[in-house]
Amino acid sequence: MKAAVLVQTKQPLEVVDLRMPEQLSFGQVHVKVHYSGICGAQINEIEGAKGPDKFLPHLLGHEGSGVVERIGPGVKTVQPGDHVVLHWRPSSGLQAEPAKYDWNGKTVNAGWVTTFNDEAIISENRLTVIPKDFDLKLAPLFGCAVTTAVGVVNNDAQIKIGQSVVIFGVGGVGLNIAQAAEMVSAYPIIGVDIVEAKVEMAKKWGVTHAFNSKTQPDYLEKIKALVGAQGADVIVDTTGNARVIEAAYELTHPDGKTILVGVPRKGDNVNIYTLPLHFKKVLKGSHGGSSVPDVEIPRFIRLMRQEKMKLEGLFTHEFSLDRINPALEAIRTGEAGRVLINMGGNL
């Protein structure tokens, strides 16, 4: 199997050949991975944003699609030949022991799910079966971007009809938050980013007003003119930038909610005035939108088939696994929406 391995923090990934265990243990599933998305969480892992990494060397990736090859003892929710979404949020089925791979005698660690590899041993509860006629190229978005975004709207923020929403950072997750907010009739839905291409893209995904905070220094005043001087009902930050989080919290209505999807780097402290939290203001972190993938993914597919949800166009760049490092750089520049890794491609 071919895989991209994080050998050292803050260094490029190494694309190498690994050997997977011949026998599957209880709850493990062997999947042929066709496509993987890239999430900001992987950039954080590579950069060591949460501190020292005690699992090096290890595999990465938590949103993908593929086909089941083999199943281990006790597995009941998937069968060989099933088309599946690979996701990081737990769902039905067994939670297996994470796989370990061999790299010329060296152990390479992996979690319950990894997708920067063309084959993988996945925990049963990180897989959801999808119809075989559903496009595997779009399916990785269900692994994180869409489930997190809809979960933020439905579960974390519980947005009501007519509430005002501001989204800081309109990449893959932010765009889907906008789409979901539109689906529940929020208004206005405001997107903020520092990349003009993303600001323009957001206008096609449910955002009613969009601002480039780099070129429009008065954007906060313009937002207040739209939502009212006291601020917006719901503000979601996907950037993890401490200064942006502070601005988002200040812009939130005294009875409103600030939802944090992005995670600041360790040591990058956020300074806020906490008194409003003793009354009705809410500040909370999101853990994947508290989504339950095997319940929600079938719903999303139904919505797509009725043209009530769209995913086409969210992947703005596509690379082969051999070019994983340029793919990661496309994320770092901020120019990409969501980046797709095609395991069978030569891109």
Give the three-state DSSP class for 260. Answer: strand
CA torsion sign for 127, 130, 133, 134 is: negative
Distance CA 190, CA 187 (A): 9
Q: Among 293, 344, 347, 346, which Cα is nearest to 35's?
A: 344
pLDDT at 267: 83
Give CA angle at 3 (346, 10), nearest 5°. Answer: 105
Domains, the chain, in order of start with CATH, read 2-138+312-342 (3.90.180.10), 148-288 (3.40.50.720)
Task: Please give the average per-residue pLDDT across 174-193, as a whole number.
Answer: 97
Tokens found for residue 232? 């917006």
pLDDT band at 236 (very low <50, low <70, confident <90, very high): very high
Give the three-state DSSP class for 251. Answer: helix
pLDDT band at 334 (very low <50, low <70, confident <90, very high): confident
pLDDT tens digit sequence for 250-278: 999 999 999 999 988 888 899 999 999 99
pLDDT tens digit sequence for 111-157: 999 999 999 999 999 999 999 999 999 999 999 999 999 999 999 99
Q: Among 34, 31, 35, 1, which Cα is nearest to 15's?
A: 1
Distance CA 166, CA 251 (A): 9
Distance CA 233, CA 299 (A): 27
In 2-79, DSSP assigns E strands to 2-6, 14-17, 28-38, 58-59, 63-71
